[in-house]
Amino acid sequence: MTKINLTEKFSLFDDIWSPKLVGELNENYVKLAKGLGELDWHSHENEDEFFLVVSGHLDIHLRDAVVSLDPGEFYVVPKGVEHRPVAIEGAEILLIEPKDTLHTGHSQTEQTVAIEDQNWI
C-alpha cells in the first residue's frame, strides 16, 4: 500500500454517487464518492456506514432528523437505519464500509452501483 492523496484521487473521476475504491482496511473498503443532488433512500441491514466529508456539504436525511456535515466532519449511520445522502451543491466524501456492503442496501434503484462496478482508482 502506498500513501493516497485524496485531492489527486478525486480529480480522476466525475461520476456522481458512484463509489471508487482507494484502499482496504481489515475486511473493509475505503471508498471515495462525489455527491450531487440526492441518493435514493436505503438502509444497510448488517453494516454501519461511515461518511467523512472532504469538501462541500452533505446532509444525511434520516426518517426523523437531518445530519449536516461540513468538511472534516463525519457521521456513522448505524446498521438498519434508513437514510438518504443529499449534496445540493456537491460534496466529496470518504466512506469506510465492509467489503460486501451493497451500495443502496437491498433497494435496487437506477442509482445502484454493484460492488463489482466500484472500480479501483
Q: What confidence score (pLDDT) does residue 117 get? A: 73
Q: What is the distance between the alpha carbons of residues 35 and 29, in angstroms, rounded to a whole number? A: 18
Query: For 7-39, what is each residue's pLDDT tens digit?
Result: 999 999 999 999 999 999 999 999 999 999 999
Query: For 68-100, what is each residue's pLDDT tens digit?
Result: 999 999 999 999 999 999 999 999 999 999 887
Which pairs from 75-78 meet CB under 8 Å and 24+ separation? 75/50, 75/51, 76/48, 76/49, 76/50, 76/51, 77/44, 77/48, 77/49, 77/51, 78/48
Contacts of 13 (CB under 8 A, 6+ apart): 20, 34, 121
Q: What confidence score (pLDDT) does residue 42 get? A: 87
CATH no., domain 37-95: 2.60.120.10
- Domain positions in the chain are 37-95
Q: What confidence score (pLDDT) does residue 100 get? A: 75
User: Which of the two residues, 113 and 98, has the higher pLDDT score?
Assistant: 98
